[in-house]
A and B are shown apart, each in its own frame.
Chain A
Amino acid sequence: MTVVFSAIKIVVVLGAILAAVTYLIYVERRISAFIQNRIGPNRVGPYGLLQPIADVLKLIVKEDVTPKLANKALHDLAPVISISIALVTFAVVPFGDRISLFGQEVKLQIADVNVGILYVLAFASLGVYGITLSGWSSNNKYSLLGGLRSSAQMISYELSMGLSVIGVVLIAGSLQLDKIVEAQYGWKWNILLQPVGCVIFTIAAFAETNRLPFDLPEAEPELVGGYHTEYSGLKFGLFFLAEYANLITASAIITVLYLGGWQFPYLQDFGLPELLVSIIGVVTFIVKVLCVLLFFVVIRWTLPRFRYDQLMNLGWKVMLPLSILNVLATGAGILLFR
Protein backbone atom coordinates (compact mmCIF):
# COMPACT_ATOMS: atom_id res chain seq x y z
CA MET A 1 0.00 0.00 0.00
CA THR A 2 2.77 2.42 0.88
CA VAL A 3 4.39 1.63 -2.46
CA VAL A 4 1.21 2.58 -4.29
CA PHE A 5 0.95 5.83 -2.37
CA SER A 6 4.61 6.61 -3.05
CA ALA A 7 4.12 5.95 -6.75
CA ILE A 8 1.08 8.24 -6.83
CA LYS A 9 2.98 10.95 -4.98
CA ILE A 10 5.92 10.67 -7.39
CA VAL A 11 3.67 10.92 -10.45
CA VAL A 12 1.72 13.87 -9.05
CA VAL A 13 4.80 15.80 -7.91
CA LEU A 14 6.73 15.13 -11.12
CA GLY A 15 3.79 16.19 -13.25
CA ALA A 16 3.25 19.27 -11.11
CA ILE A 17 6.91 20.29 -11.38
CA LEU A 18 7.07 19.82 -15.15
CA ALA A 19 3.85 21.77 -15.64
CA ALA A 20 5.04 24.41 -13.20
CA VAL A 21 8.33 24.78 -15.06
CA THR A 22 6.65 25.47 -18.41
CA TYR A 23 4.28 27.96 -16.86
CA LEU A 24 7.03 29.49 -14.75
CA ILE A 25 8.83 30.34 -18.00
CA TYR A 26 5.63 31.94 -19.30
CA VAL A 27 5.10 33.90 -16.07
CA GLU A 28 8.71 35.02 -16.03
CA ARG A 29 8.55 36.23 -19.64
CA ARG A 30 5.33 38.05 -18.93
CA ILE A 31 6.53 39.74 -15.74
CA SER A 32 9.88 40.61 -17.30
CA ALA A 33 7.95 42.26 -20.11
CA PHE A 34 5.79 44.22 -17.69
CA ILE A 35 8.86 45.41 -15.79
CA GLN A 36 10.35 46.64 -19.09
CA ASN A 37 7.05 48.34 -20.06
CA ARG A 38 6.35 45.71 -22.72
CA ILE A 39 3.46 43.29 -23.03
CA GLY A 40 5.21 39.96 -23.53
CA PRO A 41 3.90 36.78 -25.15
CA ASN A 42 0.13 37.24 -25.64
CA ARG A 43 -0.55 35.71 -29.05
CA VAL A 44 -0.77 31.93 -28.55
CA GLY A 45 -4.13 31.26 -26.95
CA PRO A 46 -5.94 33.65 -24.57
CA TYR A 47 -3.39 35.95 -22.90
CA GLY A 48 -0.70 33.77 -24.48
CA LEU A 49 -1.44 30.97 -22.07
CA LEU A 50 -0.60 28.30 -24.66
CA GLN A 51 2.84 29.83 -25.28
CA PRO A 52 4.66 27.18 -23.18
CA ILE A 53 3.20 24.41 -25.39
CA ALA A 54 4.41 26.22 -28.50
CA ASP A 55 7.86 26.66 -26.91
CA VAL A 56 8.15 22.97 -26.03
CA LEU A 57 6.97 21.92 -29.51
CA LYS A 58 9.58 24.19 -31.07
CA LEU A 59 12.34 22.68 -28.95
CA ILE A 60 11.26 19.13 -29.82
CA VAL A 61 11.11 19.79 -33.56
CA LYS A 62 14.47 21.61 -33.75
CA GLU A 63 17.55 19.87 -35.07
CA ASP A 64 19.91 18.46 -32.49
CA VAL A 65 23.44 19.53 -33.39
CA THR A 66 26.60 18.14 -31.83
CA PRO A 67 29.86 19.89 -32.73
CA LYS A 68 32.24 17.72 -34.77
CA LEU A 69 35.06 17.78 -32.21
CA ALA A 70 32.85 17.53 -29.15
CA ASN A 71 33.03 14.57 -26.83
CA LYS A 72 29.82 12.94 -28.01
CA ALA A 73 29.14 10.74 -24.97
CA LEU A 74 29.68 13.49 -22.39
CA HIS A 75 27.91 16.03 -24.57
CA ASP A 76 24.83 13.80 -24.47
CA LEU A 77 25.23 12.89 -20.80
CA ALA A 78 25.55 16.44 -19.39
CA PRO A 79 21.94 17.58 -19.85
CA VAL A 80 20.71 14.25 -18.48
CA ILE A 81 22.77 14.77 -15.31
CA SER A 82 21.47 18.30 -14.97
CA ILE A 83 17.81 17.43 -15.32
CA SER A 84 17.82 14.26 -13.23
CA ILE A 85 19.54 16.00 -10.34
CA ALA A 86 17.21 18.96 -10.57
CA LEU A 87 14.19 16.67 -10.35
CA VAL A 88 15.57 14.28 -7.73
CA THR A 89 16.26 17.04 -5.21
CA PHE A 90 12.57 17.78 -4.84
CA ALA A 91 11.95 14.26 -3.48
CA VAL A 92 12.65 15.22 0.14
CA VAL A 93 10.68 18.45 0.18
CA PRO A 94 7.62 18.15 2.47
CA PHE A 95 4.82 19.92 0.63
CA GLY A 96 2.22 19.33 3.30
CA ASP A 97 1.45 17.71 6.62
CA ARG A 98 0.06 14.18 6.96
CA ILE A 99 -3.21 13.53 5.16
CA SER A 100 -5.70 10.76 5.99
CA LEU A 101 -6.91 8.97 2.87
CA PHE A 102 -8.94 5.70 2.91
CA GLY A 103 -8.09 5.12 6.55
CA GLN A 104 -4.39 5.51 6.01
CA GLU A 105 -2.01 8.23 7.10
CA VAL A 106 -0.01 9.51 4.16
CA LYS A 107 2.92 11.82 4.61
CA LEU A 108 2.96 14.54 1.96
CA GLN A 109 6.60 14.07 1.12
CA ILE A 110 7.99 11.57 -1.38
CA ALA A 111 10.99 10.37 0.61
CA ASP A 112 11.26 10.99 4.32
CA VAL A 113 15.04 10.92 4.54
CA ASN A 114 16.34 11.36 8.08
CA VAL A 115 19.23 13.54 6.87
CA GLY A 116 16.93 15.51 4.57
CA ILE A 117 18.79 18.79 4.47
CA LEU A 118 22.14 17.07 3.85
CA TYR A 119 20.53 15.21 0.95
CA VAL A 120 19.42 18.53 -0.50
CA LEU A 121 22.86 20.13 -0.15
CA ALA A 122 24.58 17.04 -1.60
CA PHE A 123 22.37 16.93 -4.68
CA ALA A 124 22.45 20.69 -5.17
CA SER A 125 26.23 20.47 -5.41
CA LEU A 126 26.08 17.49 -7.80
CA GLY A 127 24.24 19.75 -10.23
CA VAL A 128 27.53 21.47 -11.03
CA TYR A 129 28.70 18.30 -12.84
CA GLY A 130 26.07 18.70 -15.53
CA ILE A 131 27.13 22.28 -16.22
CA THR A 132 30.88 21.73 -16.01
CA LEU A 133 30.75 18.61 -18.21
CA SER A 134 28.62 20.37 -20.79
CA GLY A 135 31.13 23.22 -20.88
CA TRP A 136 34.08 20.89 -21.20
CA SER A 137 32.65 18.43 -23.71
CA SER A 138 31.43 21.10 -26.14
CA ASN A 139 34.98 21.88 -27.32
CA ASN A 140 34.19 25.58 -27.29
CA LYS A 141 36.10 28.21 -25.34
CA TYR A 142 32.97 30.07 -24.26
CA SER A 143 31.31 26.90 -23.02
CA LEU A 144 34.46 25.96 -21.14
CA LEU A 145 34.69 29.38 -19.49
CA GLY A 146 31.05 29.11 -18.49
CA GLY A 147 31.57 25.66 -17.03
CA LEU A 148 34.66 26.75 -15.08
CA ARG A 149 32.93 29.80 -13.68
CA SER A 150 29.98 27.71 -12.67
CA SER A 151 32.09 25.23 -10.71
CA ALA A 152 34.05 28.00 -8.97
CA GLN A 153 30.88 29.87 -8.13
CA MET A 154 28.97 26.88 -6.85
CA ILE A 155 31.79 25.66 -4.65
CA SER A 156 32.26 29.10 -3.08
CA TYR A 157 28.61 29.57 -2.30
CA GLU A 158 27.99 26.03 -1.08
CA LEU A 159 30.04 26.71 2.05
CA SER A 160 28.02 29.66 3.25
CA MET A 161 24.84 27.88 2.21
CA GLY A 162 25.67 24.88 4.39
CA LEU A 163 26.77 27.06 7.31
CA SER A 164 23.65 29.19 7.19
CA VAL A 165 21.53 26.04 7.35
CA ILE A 166 23.24 25.03 10.61
CA GLY A 167 21.37 27.82 12.40
CA VAL A 168 18.05 26.33 11.31
CA VAL A 169 19.14 22.82 12.26
CA LEU A 170 20.22 24.05 15.73
CA ILE A 171 16.78 25.58 16.34
CA ALA A 172 14.82 22.58 15.06
CA GLY A 173 17.17 20.00 16.59
CA SER A 174 16.79 17.78 13.53
CA LEU A 175 18.03 17.37 9.98
CA GLN A 176 14.65 16.04 8.84
CA LEU A 177 12.87 18.62 6.75
CA ASP A 178 9.39 17.90 8.12
CA LYS A 179 10.71 18.25 11.69
CA ILE A 180 12.19 21.60 10.69
CA VAL A 181 8.79 22.70 9.40
CA GLU A 182 7.05 21.42 12.55
CA ALA A 183 9.48 23.44 14.68
CA GLN A 184 8.25 26.62 12.93
CA TYR A 185 4.80 26.33 14.54
CA GLY A 186 2.74 29.53 14.68
CA TRP A 187 4.84 32.59 13.96
CA LYS A 188 8.15 30.96 14.88
CA TRP A 189 9.20 31.14 11.24
CA ASN A 190 12.94 30.98 10.79
CA ILE A 191 12.95 34.17 8.72
CA LEU A 192 12.10 35.96 12.01
CA LEU A 193 14.41 33.88 14.20
CA GLN A 194 17.27 33.67 11.68
CA PRO A 195 17.12 36.83 9.52
CA VAL A 196 20.84 36.82 8.73
CA GLY A 197 20.82 33.12 7.93
CA CYS A 198 17.81 33.62 5.69
CA VAL A 199 19.50 36.38 3.71
CA ILE A 200 22.70 34.36 3.31
CA PHE A 201 20.81 31.24 2.28
CA THR A 202 18.73 33.17 -0.25
CA ILE A 203 21.80 34.80 -1.81
CA ALA A 204 23.54 31.42 -1.95
CA ALA A 205 20.42 29.92 -3.53
CA PHE A 206 20.56 32.58 -6.24
CA ALA A 207 24.17 31.63 -6.90
CA GLU A 208 23.41 27.89 -6.88
CA THR A 209 20.61 28.24 -9.40
CA ASN A 210 22.68 30.59 -11.60
CA ARG A 211 20.00 33.25 -11.49
CA LEU A 212 20.66 36.85 -12.39
CA PRO A 213 22.86 38.74 -10.20
CA PHE A 214 24.94 35.51 -10.30
CA ASP A 215 24.38 34.16 -13.80
CA LEU A 216 28.08 34.24 -14.69
CA PRO A 217 28.10 30.72 -16.20
CA GLU A 218 25.89 31.93 -19.02
CA ALA A 219 26.57 35.69 -18.98
CA GLU A 220 25.33 36.29 -22.51
CA PRO A 221 27.20 39.54 -23.27
CA GLU A 222 30.55 37.87 -22.56
CA LEU A 223 30.11 34.15 -23.16
CA VAL A 224 27.53 33.90 -25.97
CA GLY A 225 25.35 31.30 -24.24
CA GLY A 226 27.84 30.07 -21.65
CA TYR A 227 27.82 26.35 -21.01
CA HIS A 228 24.90 25.69 -23.37
CA THR A 229 26.33 27.58 -26.36
CA GLU A 230 26.74 24.34 -28.33
CA TYR A 231 23.40 22.81 -27.40
CA SER A 232 20.27 22.87 -29.46
CA GLY A 233 16.92 21.16 -29.70
CA LEU A 234 15.78 18.92 -26.91
CA LYS A 235 19.18 18.81 -25.18
CA PHE A 236 19.07 22.57 -24.79
CA GLY A 237 15.49 22.14 -23.64
CA LEU A 238 16.67 19.80 -20.89
CA PHE A 239 19.12 22.41 -19.62
CA PHE A 240 16.36 24.99 -19.69
CA LEU A 241 14.06 22.64 -17.82
CA ALA A 242 16.78 21.84 -15.28
CA GLU A 243 17.44 25.52 -14.65
CA TYR A 244 13.82 26.24 -13.86
CA ALA A 245 13.29 22.99 -11.95
CA ASN A 246 16.27 24.01 -9.82
CA LEU A 247 14.63 27.37 -9.30
CA ILE A 248 11.44 25.74 -8.07
CA THR A 249 13.36 23.38 -5.79
CA ALA A 250 15.39 26.27 -4.39
CA SER A 251 12.21 28.23 -3.68
CA ALA A 252 10.67 25.18 -2.02
CA ILE A 253 13.75 24.71 0.16
CA ILE A 254 13.74 28.40 1.15
CA THR A 255 10.06 28.05 2.03
CA VAL A 256 10.66 24.92 4.09
CA LEU A 257 13.69 26.24 5.93
CA TYR A 258 12.74 29.86 6.54
CA LEU A 259 9.12 30.60 5.66
CA GLY A 260 7.47 27.88 7.75
CA GLY A 261 6.78 25.40 4.92
CA TRP A 262 3.13 24.33 5.03
CA GLN A 263 2.52 26.06 8.37
CA PHE A 264 -0.44 28.41 8.32
CA PRO A 265 -0.12 30.33 11.62
CA TYR A 266 -2.33 28.74 14.34
CA LEU A 267 -4.44 26.85 11.80
CA GLN A 268 -4.68 23.81 14.11
CA ASP A 269 -6.42 25.91 16.78
CA PHE A 270 -9.35 26.87 14.54
CA GLY A 271 -10.97 23.42 14.95
CA LEU A 272 -11.38 22.74 11.20
CA PRO A 273 -11.85 19.17 9.88
CA GLU A 274 -8.58 17.28 9.52
CA LEU A 275 -8.72 16.86 5.74
CA LEU A 276 -9.32 20.58 5.23
CA VAL A 277 -6.36 21.42 7.46
CA SER A 278 -4.10 19.22 5.34
CA ILE A 279 -5.34 20.76 2.10
CA ILE A 280 -4.93 24.32 3.44
CA GLY A 281 -1.38 23.32 4.42
CA VAL A 282 -0.57 22.24 0.85
CA VAL A 283 -2.13 25.41 -0.60
CA THR A 284 -0.17 27.55 1.88
CA PHE A 285 3.02 25.84 0.80
CA ILE A 286 2.30 26.43 -2.89
CA VAL A 287 1.45 30.10 -2.30
CA LYS A 288 4.65 30.64 -0.34
CA VAL A 289 6.73 28.97 -3.06
CA LEU A 290 5.04 31.17 -5.68
CA CYS A 291 5.91 34.29 -3.69
CA VAL A 292 9.57 33.24 -3.52
CA LEU A 293 9.55 32.51 -7.27
CA LEU A 294 8.15 35.96 -8.01
CA PHE A 295 10.88 37.42 -5.82
CA PHE A 296 13.45 35.55 -7.93
CA VAL A 297 11.97 37.03 -11.12
CA VAL A 298 11.78 40.61 -9.84
CA ILE A 299 15.33 40.50 -8.47
CA ARG A 300 16.50 39.46 -11.93
CA TRP A 301 15.51 42.85 -13.35
CA THR A 302 16.68 44.84 -10.32
CA LEU A 303 20.32 43.92 -9.87
CA PRO A 304 23.05 43.94 -12.51
CA ARG A 305 25.36 40.97 -12.91
CA PHE A 306 28.36 40.70 -10.57
CA ARG A 307 31.88 40.77 -11.93
CA TYR A 308 33.83 37.57 -11.27
CA ASP A 309 36.08 39.13 -8.59
CA GLN A 310 33.10 40.79 -6.90
CA LEU A 311 31.39 37.42 -6.83
CA MET A 312 34.36 35.79 -5.14
CA ASN A 313 34.79 38.70 -2.70
CA LEU A 314 31.16 38.50 -1.67
CA GLY A 315 31.29 34.74 -1.29
CA TRP A 316 34.49 34.34 0.67
CA LYS A 317 34.99 37.68 2.47
CA VAL A 318 31.43 38.59 3.38
CA MET A 319 29.07 35.64 3.31
CA LEU A 320 31.38 33.01 4.82
CA PRO A 321 32.41 35.07 7.93
CA LEU A 322 28.81 36.23 8.35
CA SER A 323 27.46 32.71 8.27
CA ILE A 324 30.05 31.53 10.80
CA LEU A 325 29.09 34.44 13.09
CA ASN A 326 25.47 33.48 12.59
CA VAL A 327 26.16 29.93 13.74
CA LEU A 328 27.96 31.23 16.86
CA ALA A 329 25.18 33.71 17.64
CA THR A 330 22.49 31.06 17.20
CA GLY A 331 24.39 28.64 19.45
CA ALA A 332 24.79 31.31 22.13
CA GLY A 333 21.12 32.23 21.87
CA ILE A 334 20.02 28.64 22.33
CA LEU A 335 22.34 28.21 25.34
CA LEU A 336 20.98 31.38 26.98
CA PHE A 337 17.26 31.15 26.28
CA ARG A 338 16.50 27.44 26.36
Chain B
Amino acid sequence: MRRNGQRIIHAKDLSPWQKLYIPEIVKGLRITISQIFKPKFTRQYPEERWEPPASFRGRPVLVEENDVERCVACGLCSRVCPALAIEVDASETEFTKERYPVKFEINMLRCIFCGMCEEVCPEEAIVMSKEYELTFTSQEEAIFGKEKLLMPAERLQDRLEFLRKQR
Protein backbone atom coordinates (compact mmCIF):
# COMPACT_ATOMS: atom_id res chain seq x y z
CA MET B 1 0.00 0.00 0.00
CA ARG B 2 1.26 3.46 -0.85
CA ARG B 3 0.31 6.88 0.41
CA ASN B 4 2.05 10.15 -0.51
CA GLY B 5 4.75 8.16 -2.25
CA GLN B 6 5.63 6.28 0.93
CA ARG B 7 5.09 2.61 1.46
CA ILE B 8 2.93 1.88 4.49
CA ILE B 9 3.78 -1.34 6.32
CA HIS B 10 1.32 -2.82 8.77
CA ALA B 11 2.46 -5.09 11.58
CA LYS B 12 0.18 -7.89 10.32
CA ASP B 13 1.85 -7.93 6.89
CA LEU B 14 5.34 -8.58 8.28
CA SER B 15 6.97 -11.91 7.49
CA PRO B 16 8.10 -14.07 10.43
CA TRP B 17 11.70 -13.21 9.49
CA GLN B 18 10.90 -9.50 9.84
CA LYS B 19 9.00 -10.10 13.07
CA LEU B 20 12.18 -11.53 14.60
CA TYR B 21 13.42 -7.91 14.63
CA ILE B 22 17.08 -8.93 15.00
CA PRO B 23 17.80 -9.12 11.23
CA GLU B 24 16.03 -5.79 10.74
CA ILE B 25 18.11 -4.24 13.52
CA VAL B 26 21.25 -5.53 11.78
CA LYS B 27 20.07 -3.85 8.56
CA GLY B 28 19.54 -0.62 10.49
CA LEU B 29 22.99 -0.89 12.04
CA ARG B 30 24.50 -1.25 8.59
CA ILE B 31 22.86 2.01 7.49
CA THR B 32 23.99 3.79 10.66
CA ILE B 33 27.58 2.62 10.32
CA SER B 34 27.73 3.48 6.61
CA GLN B 35 26.81 7.08 7.56
CA ILE B 36 30.01 7.39 9.60
CA PHE B 37 32.15 7.36 6.46
CA LYS B 38 30.09 9.81 4.42
CA PRO B 39 31.25 13.42 3.84
CA LYS B 40 30.37 15.86 6.62
CA PHE B 41 28.14 18.91 6.26
CA THR B 42 29.71 20.98 9.04
CA ARG B 43 31.27 24.32 8.09
CA GLN B 44 34.24 25.08 10.38
CA TYR B 45 32.97 28.63 10.86
CA PRO B 46 35.66 31.08 11.88
CA GLU B 47 38.14 29.48 9.44
CA GLU B 48 35.69 28.58 6.67
CA ARG B 49 33.41 31.51 5.94
CA TRP B 50 30.29 31.61 3.83
CA GLU B 51 30.44 33.82 0.73
CA PRO B 52 26.87 35.11 0.28
CA PRO B 53 25.33 35.48 -3.20
CA ALA B 54 24.73 38.94 -4.69
CA SER B 55 21.06 38.83 -3.64
CA PHE B 56 22.07 38.64 0.03
CA ARG B 57 20.99 41.56 2.24
CA GLY B 58 23.74 42.16 4.77
CA ARG B 59 24.30 45.39 6.68
CA PRO B 60 23.49 48.57 4.66
CA VAL B 61 26.53 50.64 3.61
CA LEU B 62 27.15 53.94 1.85
CA VAL B 63 28.78 53.64 -1.55
CA GLU B 64 32.08 55.57 -1.73
CA GLU B 65 33.31 56.73 -5.14
CA ASN B 66 36.57 58.72 -5.66
CA ASP B 67 36.93 59.06 -1.88
CA VAL B 68 33.57 60.73 -1.50
CA GLU B 69 30.11 59.32 -0.80
CA ARG B 70 27.49 59.23 -3.56
CA CYS B 71 24.82 60.27 -1.09
CA VAL B 72 23.17 63.64 -1.68
CA ALA B 73 21.42 63.64 1.72
CA CYS B 74 17.92 63.71 0.28
CA GLY B 75 16.66 61.90 3.38
CA LEU B 76 14.40 59.46 1.49
CA CYS B 77 15.99 56.45 3.16
CA SER B 78 15.39 57.95 6.54
CA ARG B 79 11.74 58.63 5.60
CA VAL B 80 11.10 55.13 4.24
CA CYS B 81 12.91 53.20 6.98
CA PRO B 82 10.17 51.17 8.74
CA ALA B 83 12.32 50.75 11.83
CA LEU B 84 13.32 54.45 12.04
CA ALA B 85 16.96 53.42 12.13
CA ILE B 86 18.47 56.08 9.82
CA GLU B 87 19.28 59.65 10.68
CA VAL B 88 20.59 62.10 8.05
CA ASP B 89 21.75 65.74 8.39
CA ALA B 90 22.46 67.56 5.10
CA SER B 91 24.77 70.40 4.15
CA GLU B 92 26.14 72.06 0.97
CA THR B 93 29.36 71.20 -0.85
CA GLU B 94 31.56 72.46 -3.72
CA PHE B 95 31.12 69.26 -5.73
CA THR B 96 28.71 69.03 -8.69
CA LYS B 97 26.26 67.06 -6.59
CA GLU B 98 25.93 70.17 -4.36
CA ARG B 99 24.70 68.41 -1.20
CA TYR B 100 26.27 65.90 1.17
CA PRO B 101 25.37 64.35 4.52
CA VAL B 102 27.22 65.91 7.49
CA LYS B 103 25.86 63.17 9.65
CA PHE B 104 24.65 59.78 8.46
CA GLU B 105 23.86 57.33 11.22
CA ILE B 106 22.24 53.89 11.15
CA ASN B 107 21.29 52.33 14.44
CA MET B 108 22.14 48.69 13.80
CA LEU B 109 20.03 47.56 16.74
CA ARG B 110 16.96 48.97 15.00
CA CYS B 111 17.85 47.97 11.43
CA ILE B 112 15.78 45.04 10.19
CA PHE B 113 17.73 44.48 6.94
CA CYS B 114 14.62 45.00 4.82
CA GLY B 115 16.55 46.85 2.10
CA MET B 116 13.91 49.55 1.58
CA CYS B 117 16.55 52.31 1.94
CA GLU B 118 18.42 50.72 -0.95
CA GLU B 119 15.27 50.43 -3.03
CA VAL B 120 14.21 54.02 -2.53
CA CYS B 121 17.64 55.64 -3.01
CA PRO B 122 17.69 57.71 -6.27
CA GLU B 123 21.52 57.83 -6.38
CA GLU B 124 22.22 54.16 -5.66
CA ALA B 125 24.18 55.53 -2.73
CA ILE B 126 23.04 53.17 0.02
CA VAL B 127 23.15 49.43 -0.75
CA MET B 128 23.03 46.19 1.21
CA SER B 129 26.52 44.68 1.57
CA LYS B 130 27.49 41.06 2.08
CA GLU B 131 28.61 41.63 5.68
CA TYR B 132 26.66 39.60 8.20
CA GLU B 133 28.96 39.61 11.22
CA LEU B 134 27.70 42.33 13.54
CA THR B 135 28.73 42.45 17.16
CA PHE B 136 28.68 45.25 19.68
CA THR B 137 29.18 45.43 23.41
CA SER B 138 27.05 48.54 24.06
CA GLN B 139 24.11 50.42 22.57
CA GLU B 140 26.36 53.40 21.67
CA GLU B 141 28.63 51.11 19.69
CA ALA B 142 25.64 49.88 17.67
CA ILE B 143 25.07 53.30 16.11
CA PHE B 144 27.19 53.26 12.96
CA GLY B 145 28.38 56.68 11.75
CA LYS B 146 29.73 57.61 8.35
CA GLU B 147 33.22 56.26 9.10
CA LYS B 148 31.81 52.76 9.57
CA LEU B 149 29.22 52.96 6.80
CA LEU B 150 31.41 54.07 3.91
CA MET B 151 32.56 51.29 1.62
CA PRO B 152 34.44 51.67 -1.70
CA ALA B 153 32.28 50.94 -4.77
CA GLU B 154 34.76 48.28 -6.01
CA ARG B 155 33.86 46.06 -3.05
CA LEU B 156 30.17 46.38 -3.88
CA GLN B 157 30.34 45.55 -7.60
CA ASP B 158 28.35 42.31 -7.15
CA ARG B 159 25.46 44.04 -5.47
CA LEU B 160 25.41 47.04 -7.81
CA GLU B 161 25.25 44.76 -10.86
CA PHE B 162 22.53 42.72 -9.21
CA LEU B 163 20.49 45.88 -8.56
CA ARG B 164 20.89 47.01 -12.18
CA LYS B 165 19.68 43.63 -13.40
CA GLN B 166 16.61 43.83 -11.18
CA ARG B 167 15.64 47.23 -12.51
Does A2 lie at the interface of the complex (its beta carbon under 8 Å from any beta carbon of B)? no
Given contacts A39-B40, A39-B42, is CB(A34)–CB(B25) below 8 Å?
Answer: no
Given contacts A39-B42, A298-B29, A303-B28, is CB(A34)–CB(B22) below 8 Å?
Answer: no
A299 to B25, CA, bound (A): 9
Does A308 lie at the interface of the complex (its beta carbon under 8 Å from any beta carbon of B)? no
Cβ-defined contact, A37 with B41, below 8 A: yes
Does A31 lie at the interface of the complex (its beta carbon under 8 Å from any beta carbon of B)? yes
Given contacts A298-B33, A301-B32, A302-B29, is CB(A37)–CB(B22) below 8 Å?
Answer: no
Interface residues in B1-54 by Cβ distance below 8 A to A read 22, 25, 28-29, 31-33, 35-36, 38-42, 44
* Minimal beta-carbon separation of B32 from chain A (angstroms): 5
1/0 per position for A20-41, CB-CB distance to B under 8 A? 0000000000010011111100
Most buried by B among A31, A35, A199: A35
Given contacts A199-B22, A298-B33, is CB(A37)–CB(B39) below 8 Å?
Answer: yes
Q: In the complex, which residue of chain A has the Cβ closest to the Cβ of B35?
A: A35
Q: Which residues of B contact A299 (CB under 8 A)?
A: 25, 29
Given contacts A31-B36, A34-B36, is CB(A302)–CB(B41) below 8 Å?
Answer: no
A302 to B42, CA, bound (A): 21
* Minimal beta-carbon separation of B27 from chain A (angstroms): 9
Which bucket holds chain B's interface residue count?
A: 10 to 19
Q: How many residues of A contact B (CB 8 A)?
A: 13
Q: In the complex, which residue of chain A has the Cβ closest to the Cβ of B37?
A: A34
Interface residues in B30-87 by Cβ distance below 8 A to A read 31-33, 35-36, 38-42, 44
Q: In the complex, which residue of chain A has the Cβ closest to the Cβ of B36?
A: A34
Q: Which residues of A contact B44 (CB under 8 A)?
A: 39
A199 to B36, CA, bound (A): 25
A298 to B25, CA, bound (A): 11
Q: In the complex, which residue of chain A has the Cβ closest to the Cβ of B29?
A: A302
A37 to B32, CA, bound (A): 11
* Minimal beta-carbon separation of A203 from chain B (angstroms): 10
Given contacts A39-B40, A39-B42, is CB(A302)–CB(B28) below 8 Å?
Answer: yes
Where the two chains meet, the residues of A that have a C-beta atom closer than 8 Å to any C-beta of B are 31, 34-39, 199, 298-299, 301-303
Where the two chains meet, the residues of B that have a C-beta atom closer than 8 Å to any C-beta of A are 22, 25, 28-29, 31-33, 35-36, 38-42, 44
Interface CB pairs A-B, < 8 A, 30 = A31-B36, A34-B36, A34-B40, A35-B32, A35-B33, A36-B35, A37-B35, A37-B38, A37-B39, A37-B40, A37-B41, A38-B40, A38-B41, A38-B42, A39-B40, A39-B42, A39-B44, A199-B22, A298-B29, A298-B32, A298-B33, A299-B25, A299-B29, A301-B32, A302-B25, A302-B28, A302-B29, A302-B31, A302-B32, A303-B28
- Nearest first, the 5 A-B pairs at minimum CB distance are A39-B42, A302-B28, A34-B36, A302-B32, A35-B35
